[in-house]
Amino acid sequence: MASSWKINVFVIFVVSQLFANVALAAYAPDEVTNLPGLKTQPSFRHYSGYLNASGQDRLHYWFVESQNDPANDPVVLWMNGGPGCSSMDGMLSELGPFHVNSDGQTLYMNKYSWNTVANVIFLEAPAGVGYSYNPTKEYATDDDKVSMGNYLALQSFFKKFPEYASNDFYVTGESYGGIYVPTLTHRILNGNATINMKGFAVGNGITNFTTNSDSLVYFAYYHGLIGLDLWKSLNERCCDGTYCVFSQSTDIECQTLVAEALNVVYDIGLNTYSLYLDCYNGPSSVQSPLLTRYQFDMMHALGHLPKAPPKYYQPMSAILSKSKVGLVPPCINVTGVTAYLNLPNVRKALHIADEAPSWEVCSQLPYTTIYKTMYSTYKDILAKYRGMVYNGDTDMACNFLGDEWFVESLNLKKKSDRSPWMLGDQIAGFVKEFEGLSLVTIKGAGHMVPQERPAQALKMFTYFLQNKPL
């Protein structure tokens, strides 16, 4: 009996040590043990530090373990867009567990955080964005260089956290993430890294530059932004009775009319990221240096348009300047997040390198857009991975209609007709299911869906991970 008792005790000890070793396998030097601004530290573990990417690029990440079952829940990468905008905005304003109060000093817990169902990596990329940096300060980049850097950063992450390498993995993002997400997914598809990739999701993403621009003319008219006279003129000069060519038209008068329509959307003071929300600090903000970040975005979204008189199409050298809070989209309030991330004790807690600059939500980078459409990329990656394209239906920067046109152009096999999906007893939006891809709208949300409709976003995300129809 005594011998049996000793054996049982020994077995229990060995098992407990194995579990302790698993728990300690995470990269301890990067663990955030005392996050400033929180009344009570979270029950889940989280880590902040740097990942090795291309050359000397050092990409800052913030990794939050799942509040549910971190050992078995999926690992999800999140990337904001721009190009040149920081994923810390997604972390602290949208889908992360910690959100910044307006005082810029304190935090509150977000009950709709995506880490309630998944482990989430927030990656600041490329180098030159947020806390990510290169000691040489060589920041010229393009779509392919960014996807390679992100691919290498993922390999660096799984070296730090090998215990997560076998978990299901998903790539997600919004805005110019419409380029970042599928190009990185394509790298994973064709690469030799051991990543248990399962799928990808793009929110309010730029997927095709032409359809994004052309569809916006329709969006503007049917949302009451341009009048009947201009609409009739557009149809007379840009359409042949069955088909309209707006952004690619060679007709000078059509170009002028399209510029007039887009000028209403972009330049008169509307909140382009969320049509029915007010503009932070009022419409006058569109005449301030805050406009420059937005103009940078529009150069990438609309830079293919022929002729160039409107403000949104001017060369960067003519329009870019910096405000006291950096390059910030108009109508958007990031003062709290900016103040918080530049507190010395926050930088220390997050293990931010001394070489890293002050944090800004968006950075001006020498960036070259290579891809004008993600058509062939989607065709390749959907042959192996599941996808979701979702849109807040009041966003005008990357509007839902353009993404719908893009998805329909893929000619995927339809699984179900477009129908409403629910949150409780209310319609949350509409969904159409294709073989391997879900097309989802979120009613009343703008560009930043998890920020404006957090409960709806969490349900949509959870169902996607579980491969359940909405």
- Residues 227-283 have pLDDT tens digits of 999 999 999 999 998 889 998 899 999 999 999 999 899 888 899 999 998 887 665
Q: Which of 60, 99, 300, 447 is catalytic?
A: 447
**Mean pLDDT of the region 388-412:** 97
Domain 25-207+334-470 in CATH 3.40.50.1820? yes
Which residues have C-beta within 8 Å of that of residue 423, sequence separation ≥ 6?
455, 456, 459
Percent of the chain with pLDDT over 70: 84
Tokens of 449: 């869906």
pTM of the model: 0.88
**Mean pLDDT within 97-111:** 96
Query: Half-sphere exposure (CA, 13 Å, Cβ side) for 204?
Result: 27
Q: Which of 175, 215, 249, 274 is catalytic?
A: 175
Per-residue pLDDT at 305 exceeds 70: no
- The question of whether 229 is a catalytic residue gets the answer no
Give the C-alpha separation, 59 to 355, whole Å: 12
Partnered with residue 146 across adjacent β-strands are: none
Domain definitions of the chain by residue range: 25-207+334-470, 209-333
What three-state secondary structure class fits 204? strand
What's the pLDDT tens digit per position in 179-215?
999 999 999 999 988 999 999 999 999 999 999 999 9
Q: Report the pLDDT value the prediction gives residue 219, as an integer from 0 to 100.
A: 97
Catalytic: 284? no
Fold agreement (25-207+334-470, 209-333): yes
Mean pLDDT of the chain: 87
Topology at the third CATH level for domain 209-333: Rossmann fold (3.40.50)
Distance of CA 346 to the CA centre of its chain: 23
Give 309's pLDDT tier (boundaries 50, 70, 90): very low
Q: Is 447 a catalytic residue?
A: yes
User: How far is the C-alpha of 330 from the C-alpha of 286, rounded, in Å?
Assistant: 6
- What pLDDT band is residue 386 in, cutting at 50, 70 and 90? very high
Please provide the DSSP assignment of 93-145 as one string. IISSSEEE-TTSS-EEE-TT-GGGTSEEEEE--STTSTT-B-TT----EEHHH
